[in-house]
Amino acid sequence: MLRLCWLTLLLLAALRLVHAEVIHYQTCPDTEADCTMGEVRVDPCPQAVHNAACRIRRRRPGSISFKFTPHFDAERLETTLVWVKSETEELPMVSLERDACKNIQCPIKSGELQTYALTAPVEAKFPISSYTIRWRLKDPVSGKMCCFNHDIKVVN
């Protein structure tokens, strides 16, 4: 019975990501040779139709999925999510699972398309503001990474 509940939850999460909106993003500088980024989807983000920042509500879960093709091999990848405060300053956004292999297939093979997917709540203490955020999936050994930026607006 418990297994059926988990399968149902996974199916519902997958269906939610299928209906997520494709958003506008920018590949991080100096990472194009390491990785090709594909479609990035956020749910909810009806603002994506107008290329506007996704309005993310506090105390509600948000989902992201993105496709990427690394041009390097790696045993594992580490995930980071930061607020790009300026070109020289980044601040951690949330505490999330750093082991990307819990959300993708590892080891990483060069040229193989992968899809990273995550659903996480936005905490009530998160300040209401606009942010440019940066997602990184990085090989801790070589330093090679897949990376992109996109804009969000945290609202009540």
Least confident of 25-39, 98-112, 121-135: 121-135
Decide: pTM greater than 0.95. no
The model's confidence at residue 64, banded by pLDDT at 50, 70 and 90, is very high
Mean pLDDT throughout 122-142? Answer: 92
With a cut of 60, say whether residue 9 has pLDDT above it: no
Closest to 153 (Cα-Cα) out of 63, 86, 61, 53:
53
With a cut of 50, say whether residue 113 has pLDDT above it: yes
With a cut of 90, say whether residue 41 has pLDDT above it: yes
The predicted pLDDT at position 19 comes to 59
The residue with greater pLDDT, 11 or 66, is: 66
Three-class SS of residue 60?
coil
Mean pLDDT throughout 76-93? Answer: 90
| Cα–Cα separations (whole angstroms), residue 14 to 86, 122, 142 | 34, 19, 32
How many whole angstroms separate alpha carbon 32 and alpha carbon 42? 22
Domains by residue range for the chain, with CATH: 2-155 (2.60.40.770)
Least confident of 3-17, 18-32, 45-59, 140-154: 3-17
The predicted pLDDT at position 122 comes to 82
